[in-house]
Structure 1
Amino acid sequence: MMAFVPLNSHPNPQNVLVIGGGDGGVVREVAKHPAVKSIVMCEIDEEVVNACKEHIPSLACGFDDPRLTLHIGDGLEFLCSYPGQFDVIITDSTDPVVGDSDHQKSKDGPAMSLFNEEYYTKLHEKLTPEGILCSQGESMWLHKELIGSLLAKSRTVYPVVDYAYTCTPSYPSGQIGLIMCSKNPKTIFREPVLSWTADELKQYGLKYYNTDIHSAAFTLPTFMQEFLNTL
């Protein structure tokens, strides 16, 4: 979902940037899209990449795709130095705030720089005029206030901002959100520009994503709808 919701919201997602995603899962899925010609990835921790290649090759197989160029380093620093632009940027980061050893206090995590206004502004610069951003959007059950803050910041930079979610059994609460931003004011995230038949879904190896679940991902529980309406 983190790959195909943004990809199928763009009319022609040829050039894609993935920031984070050291397990290779997002790259693996992006590589399945027939329109994609180039994938650039920036991951801060090379040891994560190497460990995933060794221990979870079913995810890390995306690193073998010939369209991929992998950079090791900080995502924000990479954005400041990279000369090109992208049709789609996907941020698959860890949580910005982590708990300490006593499970009571919290502190900034290593991905905090990927959740501030400077980062979202720099992403805007690196997107083409119809460019789309998808960022890891936390869990509405655990991080409602943080989600609200991220959406409010995004709306100061992008004309179209929306929030979706998907089931992720391995993530706390079993659900994770997607913060969706577009530079194109005509974008309607809930209506994918590309729909695939059942045969195409099978051809591309998609076992979860389809057009109906794309649209349904933006249908939020009442408490979350009411909260977002106050922003």
Structure 2
Amino acid sequence: MSIWFTEKQTQSFGITGKINQILENEKTEYQQLDMLETEQFGNMLLLDNMVMTTEKDEFVYHEMIAHVPLFTHPSPKKVLIVGGGDGGTVREVLKHSSVEKVTQVEIDNKVVEYSKKHLPHISSSFGDSRTELIIGDGFDHIIKSNNKYDVILVDSTEPVGPAAGLFTKGFYAGIAKALKEDGIFVAQTDNPWFKAELIRNAIRDTKEIFPIARLYTCNIPTYPSGMWTFTIGSKKYDPLDVDPNRISDINGQYYTPELHQASFVLPKFVQNLCK
């Protein structure tokens, strides 16, 4: 008998994968957490029945959320990650030699615990001396910070449950205050096929707070529709002005100097969301 998991991406559409075994199944203080061993994508982390990451395709998301802003900023030293308890974003951030400290604020310690256990390649940098892991509320941390970070990365789940407040204009305004005068932030902002209004709101709010606001995309097969967006807000540096020759080899599998520029080339229907 085969076991299959379906993430219902809308009420009438989903993506399905064959499961070899269920590794973890727990209702944490904040959300439903499942760790599955899938036949196609290796170990897979689910939160509230939504795919967060898999062993096979995780590099796309983590490289794109980290390297686009970190190569846009000329000398990022202090970086904040909100969410991202699997550890993949930390791993990519630490590939930048200028980074002196990464502070990660994850609300659910169980995400960190089970990622260390079942996703060791993704969570491999939690023990790095430059990493500070705080189990707490990222929204509160942002509000209490002032002129502190060069780059802030919002590596959140969907806008439900504990992550709902991370998609508000008030949160983006708090990020602007927590950033230094030339700071940059990036937030994952879902997909344009099913969450067009979310993207429209995110880019509009970012434009009202930051002098430079742009949207970029990548392809992640286990995420809804496969097409994923990130919203970047910058106080000074435009990601489109980055010299490709300044982008060093990060030993990645997706991000390249050419892709840095190309990821900002949007299909017309996505361009329309940014107006």
| TM-score normalized by the length of structure 1 | 0.87
CA distance in 2, matches of 1:217, 1:195: 17
| Contiguous gaps of at least 5 residues in structure 1 | 97-107
CA distance in 1, matches of 2:165, 2:245: 35
- Calculate percent identity across the aligned residue pairs: 36
Structure 1 residues 187-198: aligned runs within 5 Å: 187-193=237-243, 195=245
Tell me, what secondary structure is at the counterpart of 1:35? Answer: coil
Kept in 2, the 8 Å contact 1:20–1:44? The answer is: yes
Q: 1:156 to 1:125 in 2, by over 3 A?
A: same
Tell me, what secondary structure is at the counterpart of 1:90? Answer: strand
Runs (4+) of structure 1 exceeding 3 A deviation are 193-197
Kept in 1, the 8 Å contact 2:244–2:258? The answer is: no
Q: How far did residue 81 of structure 1 move?
A: 2.8
The letter of the residue matching 2:268 is T
Choose between structure 1 and 2: higher strand proportion. Answer: 2
Q: How far did residue 157 of structure 1 move?
A: 1.0
Number of matched pairs: 212
Q: How far did residue 123 of structure 1 move?
A: 0.5
Q: Which residue of 2 aligns with 1:100?
A: none
CA distance in 2, matches of 1:154, 1:163: 10
Structure with the greater relative contact order (CA < 8 A, sep ≥ 6): 1 or 2?
1
CA offsets per residue over residues 25-79 of structure 1, 9 Å max, x none? 1000001112111100000100000000000000000212110001011111112
CA distance in 2, matches of 1:142, 1:224: 12
CA offsets per residue over residues 97-149 of structure 1, 9 Å max, x none? xxxxxxxxxxx432111011111111001101110000011111211111001
Q: Which residue of 1 aligns with 2:260?
A: 214
Structure 1 residues 1-231: aligned runs within 5 Å: 1-82=64-145, 85-96=148-159, 108-184=160-236, 187-193=237-243, 195=245, 200-201=248-249, 204-229=250-275
Structure whose CA Rg is larger: 2
The letter of the residue matching 1:228 is C
| TM-score normalized by the length of structure 2 | 0.74
CA distance in 2, matches of 1:174, 1:127: 31
CA distance in 2, matches of 1:224, 1:53: 36
Choose between structure 1 and 2: higher helix proportion. Answer: 1
Kept in 1, the 8 Å contact 2:147–2:177? The answer is: no
Q: How far did residue 84 of structure 1 move?
A: 6.0
Q: Which residue of 1 aligns with 2:4?
A: none
The letter of the residue matching 1:26 is T
Kept in 2, the 8 Å contact 1:192–1:211? The answer is: no
Q: CA RMSD in A?
A: 1.5
